[in-house]
Structure 1
Amino acid sequence: MCGIVGWIAFQRDLTRERSTLDAMTATMVCRGPDAGGTWVSPHAVLGHRRLSVIDLEGGVQPMTVDTPDGPVVMTYSGEAYNFRELRDELRRRGHEFRTSSDTEVVLRGYLEWGEAVADHLLGMFALGIWDGRTDRLILLRDQLGIKPLYVYETEDGVLFGSETKAILAHPAVEAVVDRDGFRELMGYVKEPGQATWKGMREVKPGTMLIVDRGGVRERVYWRLEVDEHHDDTETTVRRIRELLEDSVSRQLVADVPLCLLLSGGLDSSALTALAARKLTEEGRQARTFTVDFEQPDDFRADELRGSPDAPFAREVVDHVGTLHSDIKLDHRELADPEVRRTVVAARDLPFGFGEGDNSLYLLFKAIREHSTVALSGEGADETFGGYPWFHSPAVQQTATFPWVKRLAPTRLYEPELALGALDLPGYLAQRWSDTVAQLPSLPGEDAHERRMREFCFVHVTSALPTLLDRKDRMSMAVGLEVRVPICDHRLVQYVFNTPWSMKAFDGREKSLLRAAVRDMLPASVAERPKAGYPLTQELDYVGEVQRQVGELLSDDHRAVEFFDRAALTEAVREKPEALERDTRDAFEQVLDLSVWLDLYRPTIKLS
């Protein structure tokens, strides 16, 4: 995995701007700790930071192919999991390869197929190709947006980068967040194409941008399609198993140590079992890691987690035979202001998952001492209908994003801000309406099936991108590549079109996934209900967070302006065990916001 940057300017000489390119590229060092490189020409400069995963000696970037009509140069982040098949096909078409990297395969694929190379790629990727034969830039992002890619249009071209900090490093870009950007931050709904910072946008998932002297043109090469599902349940379960096996097998290819993230839940356990079987066939042993906390033995069940992960993870380890490690975190690490500072800097934004981001970062930091690549179960809940609210009739009748109530502690936002200047309720209602309007109707589909298809659609397009971005940022902050086999676009497309009656055919969440992997798992794990990402139950952690929020109140920090000061003041005086979840979430948000304001010193324009 890597970090990419670039600057295209058709009306100036960029050979004099190497220092600016170097500054932009330097912001990506965490994403690519192994090597760096730049390529400079009069109207295009490209930068790259490399995390070496495949072909450690080759694959140096930016990668160039010189042609009689000019150079074709690429800066690339990600993995093309079908690169071996593509390389064989390109060789049959006359291409010769100097390396064994997937990077060269993608570049030569562009030379062969041009823009249509996008239709050949299976994987997670974000790339920029400068075609010196025609003086144009191609920006391309994978089908589900697993790898980030941002762009900023200038008067005579564009800036682009894997993270917004790369673009913010350019002297012409101001750190401004306007009303729309701040509403998205506080609303917890990801709108494809939005980037929070004024003037910036994402390259949308499944989309290509073509930049030339005539401007910027957008081409959508993939989207979720609505189609009738003709397979019966047995055939569907078998097809899902085949797609899972193929995706996992492809994503086990690496020239560096590889591991699996194991929570003991259905998703991660399924990937672990599939991967362990494949690795055993190759004479290798799977390695797994589970996050846990230094806390009292008396686990307290709540609405998010009915049971601790560790016992279930251990059952999987014993069942499939992995080399396992528990990564234990304590409240001092989680509450360390320097950890929070690193996490917010990695995300470029506040209003993340607070403690959950801190623990994920610390988990990845510990794993990075042993492995460079990890496989994760991200995407299963969104794809297969795993969240509890999917199965709540009351929620099904409500035309809104069901996760917002859980994530956004709106009760503690500053009322005039949330309900007045930002009008979050109106914003969320409009976003819901705009999102579901993109979804074509299927002939003969009844109202309930339509609603559940809408639910699945908004989860894949508006919830999953937030989780993928979180995982990418926290992992790349320590130079760890995390792969997400369930986010194979072939699998997501296939499952999306299964009717809801089939997705929940046994009355449970993730019925199809459970049926597809039940034979590989301990019965207790196969039957385990959905459990959320683990959070510490140490009251010492809550107390320390309270103390830090109290300091912000005493210092009259700017971050407090966005929250109900009276409610925060009352909350910091409560006993830690008496605090409700949304109050704890608000503490996390105000602390993250304070760090972000100090680091980025943004100009916020809400009118």
Structure 2
Amino acid sequence: MCGITGWVSYRRDLTSHRQVLDAMTETMACRGPDAAGAWVTGRAALGHRRLAVIDLPGGAQPMTVDTADGPVSMVYSGEAYNFTELRDELRRRGHGFTTDSDTEVVLRGYLEWGESLTEKLNGMYAFAIWDSRTEKLVMVRDRMGIKPFYYYETDDGVLFGSEPKAILANPLAAPEVGLDGLREIFSFAKTPGHAIWKGMKELRPGHIAVVDRNGLREQAYWRLEVSEHTDDQDATVAHVRELLEDIIARQLVADVPRCTLLSGGLDSSAMTSLAARKLGEHGETVRSFAVDFPGQAENFRAIDVAPSVDTPYVHAVAEHVKCDHRDIMLDGSALSDPAVRQAAIAARDLPTGLGDRDNSLYLLFKAVREQSTVALSGESADEVFGGYPWFHDERREADTFPWLAGGLTLGDTKSLLSQDLTDKLDLDTYLRDHYLSALDEVPLKDGETGLEKRMRQVCYLHLTRMVNTLLDRKDRMSMAVGLEVRVPFCDHRLVSYVFNTPWSLKTFDGREKSILREATRDVLPESVANRKKSGYPGSFDPAYLSAIKQQAGDLITSGHQALELCRVETLKEAIAAPAEDITTQQRATIERALDLATWMDLRKPTITLD
């Protein structure tokens, strides 16, 4: 896992711009704390920051192979979980290897198969290859978009990076945000391919982009497609279990300490239990971590997507599988520390308004990184198996993105932003247009109608929109502290198989995630196997609320530039609300305002509203 960046120019001599490349690369230092590298020629400059996970001494980058027709060089972030099989195949085809790293396997795979290499990879990855033989740059992102990749076309080439901050370190890229960028910031429906900065794009999941002297062309090498599901219930459950065991075994491979993130929900508990079994075959014990807050049980307020406290279930799993478990306890003073908010916003590059949930995730990952370098997460199982409450009631029929109908609303955004900005953004129309565009993409079987058709649409929207938001959050927060988080439920084989399983079979017991529950029930405590979906927890520590209200008051007193975008009276009302009466929307208004101000201080964007 690493941070990558680079610059291709067909009219400049980049050997005289090494300092600019170094500045771009340095922005990725948090993603790769172990080493830095650069490779510069006249036309291409590649920068790399390394987090060493596999082949610690041998995986240095940029990695180059000298061919008879010129060098081919690559910067690579992620993991190819099937690199052992690919290396064996490449050896049979005559390739020799000088390292044990998956990086060299991917590079030599390109030399053998060219761009068709993408069809063979299983993993999470983002990489760029400069092929001097044809003077072209090949940029690739994994199928589900687990690893980020951004690019910015220039007048004679392209800039790219794992994160926008790498691109913005180049003087050719202006830190400008227009109305569409603000729409992406203030809505909860990430548009694939869209970056908030003018001129910048996100390489879409499952896509490859090629740059040469004729310009840039981007195309898909993988997408969700429909196929006939012929397995009955027992065979489906058995195949999902078989896939999960294979996926987790592959994702446990590392030359550094690894662990699991355990929330006590079905997803992370099943993953942790299967990991414990696999490691137990070698006499190892799985290490697990969970987040918790002082007084959480006493202060907890149940909501639709988080109806219960995690800790009792976490401990039940830890005892059941004999984990080496640790709770990471985070109090209100730690969560409300402005330096923590700044670190979280710097990591995400977005003023999300999630506040304590982002701050706590950052602190959790930071604590985990002190003991492990690789962590497995249950992220995305809800999108794959249908775990959210709105999959199972009338909200799934809403004529919008289902999670917006499900309670992840724009209410706090509309109440916070000034009337003038609200009118200019017209978020309702923006979301409507993007919702209809997303529906047009959905692959449907001939004759598919009724509930099966609608649930095909709902699942597709979650797997191509909502999951991108969650994966981006996971990647940015973890890599900000040099922690590699792997997501077994995003293996494309599992995603494709379950996507094509009929909804009636996905809910055969009348509940959410029926297949996953049945496939893993034998390794779980009964209480956890039957637990309802409960999302990532927020803190209900009164000290946290008191602190952020004070910080928001100071923001108003200072006359911060962010207030020019805000409805200040609404913010004042939220600050004045008694702690026991403050609404979820008022709290979100305070969080959004603080995040927005922090982001503007950090990134100093030029905001254009025309």
Instruction: Bin the TM-score by the shorter chain.
Output: over 0.9
1:492 matched to 2:514? The reply is: no
Aligned to 1:533: 536
Q: Is the 8 A contact 2:419 2:567 kept in 1?
A: no
Aligned to 1:198: 198
Q: Which whole-Å deviations, capped at 9, do the CAs of 1:412-441 have from their partners, x for residues lacking one?
A: 233524641000111111111000111132
| Residue 531 (structure 1) shift | 0.6
Q: Is the 8 A contact 1:266 1:514 kept in 2?
A: yes
Residue range with higher mean Cα deviation, 269-278 or 302-311 = 302-311
Q: Which whole-Å deviations, capped at 9, do the CAs of 1:57-104 have from their partners, x for residues lacking one?
A: 001000000011000000000000000000000000000000000000
SS in 1 for 2:451: helix
| Residue 561 (structure 1) shift | 3.0
Aligned to 2:286: 286
Q: Is the 8 A contact 2:210 2:218 kept in 1?
A: yes
Aligned to 2:58: 58
Taking the TM superposition and a 5 Å limit, the aligned residue runs for 1:220-235 are 220-235=220-235
SS in 2 for 1:412: helix
Aligned to 2:170: 170
Which amino acid is the alignment partner of residue 289 of structure 2? F
Aligned to 1:406: 408
| Residue 297 (structure 1) shift | 4.5
Q: 1:573 aligns with which of 571, 576, 581?
A: 576
Residue range with higher mean Cα deviation, 478-487 or 309-318 = 309-318
1:121 matched to 2:121? The reply is: yes
| Residue 233 (structure 1) shift | 1.4
| Residue 411 (structure 1) shift | 4.4
Which amino acid is the alignment partner of residue 343 of structure 2? T
Q: Which whole-Å deviations, capped at 9, do the CAs of 1:159-211 have from their partners, x for residues lacking one?
A: 00000000000011110011111101101111110011000001110000011
Aligned to 1:183: 183
| Residue 299 (structure 1) shift | 4.8
Structure 2 unmatched ranges of 5 or more: none
Corresponding residue pairs, total = 606
Q: Which whole-Å deviations, capped at 9, do the CAs of 1:209-249 have from their partners, x for residues lacking one?
A: 01100111112100000222221111111111111111101
Q: Is the 8 A contact 2:35 2:51 kept in 1?
A: yes
| Residue 301 (structure 1) shift | 4.0
| Residue 402 (structure 1) shift | 2.5
Taking the TM superposition and a 5 Å limit, the aligned residue runs for 1:137-152 are 137-152=137-152
Which amino acid is the alignment partner of residue 155 of structure 2? E
Taking the TM superposition and a 5 Å limit, the aligned residue runs for 1:466-545 are 466-545=469-548
Aligned to 1:434: 437
Q: Is the 8 A contact 2:190 2:469 kept in 1?
A: yes
Which amino acid is the alignment partner of residue 313 of structure 1? V
| Residue 477 (structure 1) shift | 0.5
Which amino acid is the alignment partner of residue 310 of structure 1? T
Q: Normalised by the size of structure 2, how large is the TM-score? A: 0.98
| Residue 447 (structure 1) shift | 2.0
Residue range with higher mean Cα deviation, 412-421 or 288-297 = 412-421
Q: Is the 8 A contact 1:149 1:160 kept in 2?
A: yes
| Residue 397 (structure 1) shift | 2.1
Q: d(CA) in 2 for partners of 1:435 and 1:523?
A: 39
Which amino acid is the alignment partner of residue 158 of structure 1? V
Residue range with higher mean Cα deviation, 313-322 or 35-44 = 313-322
- Identical-pair percentage: 58
Q: Is the 8 A contact 1:417 1:423 kept in 2?
A: no
Q: Which whole-Å deviations, capped at 9, do the CAs of 1:272-295 have from their partners, x for residues lacking one?
A: 001000000022110000110112
Q: Is the 8 A contact 2:353 2:588 kept in 1?
A: no
Residue range with higher mean Cα deviation, 301-310 or 476-485 = 301-310
Aligned to 2:77: 77
Structure 1 unmatched ranges of 5 or more: none
Q: 1:443 aligns with which of 436, 440, 446?
A: 446
Q: d(CA) in 2 for partners of 1:246 and 1:387?
A: 26
Residue range with higher mean Cα deviation, 578-587 or 73-82 = 578-587
Which amino acid is the alignment partner of residue 508 of structure 1? R
Query: Root-mean-square deviation (CA), in Å?
Result: 1.1
Q: Normalised by the size of structure 1, how large is the TM-score? A: 0.98
1:593 matched to 2:593? The reply is: no
Q: Is the 8 A contact 1:245 1:274 kept in 2?
A: yes
Aligned to 1:366: 367
Residue range with higher mean Cα deviation, 576-585 or 162-171 = 576-585
| Residue 407 (structure 1) shift | 4.9
Residue range with higher mean Cα deviation, 237-246 or 253-262 = 237-246
Q: d(CA) in 2 for partners of 1:602 and 1:93?
A: 51
Q: d(CA) in 1 for partners of 2:444 and 2:463?
A: 17
1:110 matched to 2:137? The reply is: no
SS in 1 for 2:125: strand
Q: Is the 8 A contact 2:353 2:593 kept in 1?
A: no
Q: d(CA) in 2 for partners of 1:572 and 1:497?
A: 48
Q: d(CA) in 2 for partners of 1:325 and 1:216?
A: 48
Aligned to 1:387: 388
Aligned to 1:346: 347
Residue range with higher mean Cα deviation, 349-358 or 184-193 = 349-358
Q: d(CA) in 2 for partners of 1:573 and 1:232?
A: 58
Aligned to 1:327: 328
| Residue 553 (structure 1) shift | 1.6
Q: Is the 8 A contact 1:125 1:141 kept in 2?
A: yes
Aligned to 1:237: 237
| Residue 141 (structure 1) shift | 0.3
Taking the TM superposition and a 5 Å limit, the aligned residue runs for 1:307-318 are 307-318=308-319
Q: d(CA) in 1 for partners of 2:583 and 2:24?
A: 42
SS in 2 for 1:572: helix
| Residue 602 (structure 1) shift | 0.6
| Residue 330 (structure 1) shift | 0.3
